[in-house]
A and B are shown apart, each in its own frame.
Chain A
Amino acid sequence: MKIKIRDRYRAILLIIMVFYSLFVGLINPAFFSIETVFDLIRTSSTSLMVVIGLLLVMISGGIDVSFMAVALFGSYTTIKIMIAAGIDSLAFAFGLSMLIGGFLGLINALLINWLKLPPFIITLGTQSLFHGIMTTFIGDKSFGAGVLPSCLNKFGQAVLFSFQSDNSRVGLTASVVPILIVAAVTWFILYKTMIGRGIVALGNSEEAARRIGFNPSRIRLFVYTYTGLLSGIMGIIYVAQVNALYPNKLVGDELMVVAAAVIGGTKITGGQGKISGAILGVLIIYLLNSTLILIGLSSSWNDLFVGAILVVSIAVSSYQERVKNRKNLIFTE
Chain B
Amino acid sequence: MNKIRKLAAGDINFAILIALTLLAIVLSGVFIGDKMFTVANIQAMAYQIPEFGFLCLAMMLSNLIGGIDLSIIAAANTIAIFTANVLNGRWAFGTDGAARIILAICVALLASILFGLFNGLLISRTSAPSLIATLGTMTLYRGIGMALTGGSSVGDIVPGFSYLGKAKLLGIPFIFWIFIIATGLLGLVLSKTTYGRALYLYGGNPVAARFSAINNERMCRSVFLLTGLFAGIAGIIILSRVNSAKVGYGDTYLLQTMIVCVIGGIHPNGGKGTVKGVLVAIIFMQLLSSAFTIMTLSPYTKKLIYGAMLILVLGMNYFINKLIQKYKTR
Contact = CB atoms under 8 A, between A and B. Distances in A.
Interface of A: 63, 111, 114-118, 120-122, 124-133, 135-136, 140, 247, 252, 255, 258-259, 262, 268-269, 298, 300-308, 310-311, 314-315, 318-319, 321-322, 325, 331-333
Contacts of B131: 63, 120, 268
B37 to A, nearest CB: 28
B142 interface: yes
Contact of A298 (B135, B150, B268): B150
Contacts of A301: 143, 146-147
Contact of B142 (A121, A135, A307, A325): A307
Contacts of B135: 255, 258-259, 262, 310
Nearest to B206: A333
B307 A131 contact: yes
B139 A306 contact: yes
Nearest to A305: B143
A133 B143 contact: no
Contacts of A269: 129
Nearest to A312: B136
Given A117-B268, A318-B128, 14 more contacts: A114-B315, A117-B314, A120-B131, A121-B268, A132-B301, A135-B298, A140-B300, A259-B139, A310-B136, A310-B139, A311-B136, A314-B136, A318-B129, A332-B206
B145 to A, nearest CB: 8
A311 B126 contact: no
A314 B135 CA distance: 10
Given A120-B131, A262-B132, A318-B128, A307 B303 contact: no
Nearest to B310: A125
A269 B127 CA distance: 11
A141 to B, nearest CB: 12
B305 to A, nearest CB: 7
Contact of A333 (B216, B251, B318): B216
B276 interface: no
Given A114-B318, A300-B147, A314-B122, A333 B127 contact: yes
Interface string B308-330: 10110011001000000000000
Interface of B: 68, 70, 122, 125-129, 131-133, 135-144, 146-147, 149-151, 206-207, 210, 216, 251, 254-255, 258, 262, 268-269, 298, 300-308, 310-311, 314-315, 318
13 contacts: A63-B131, A114-B315, A121-B258, A131-B307, A132-B307, A132-B308, A302-B146, A304-B147, A307-B136, A307-B142, A308-B143, A318-B126, A331-B210
A332 B70 CA distance: 22
Nearest to B300: A135
A331 B205 CA distance: 12
A122 B269 contact: no
Nearest to B248: A252
B60 to A, nearest CB: 14
A126 B137 CA distance: 24
Contacts of A318: 126-129, 133
B129 A300 contact: no
Nearest to A325: B127
Interface centre among B125, B207, B301, B304 (most CB of A within 10 A): B304
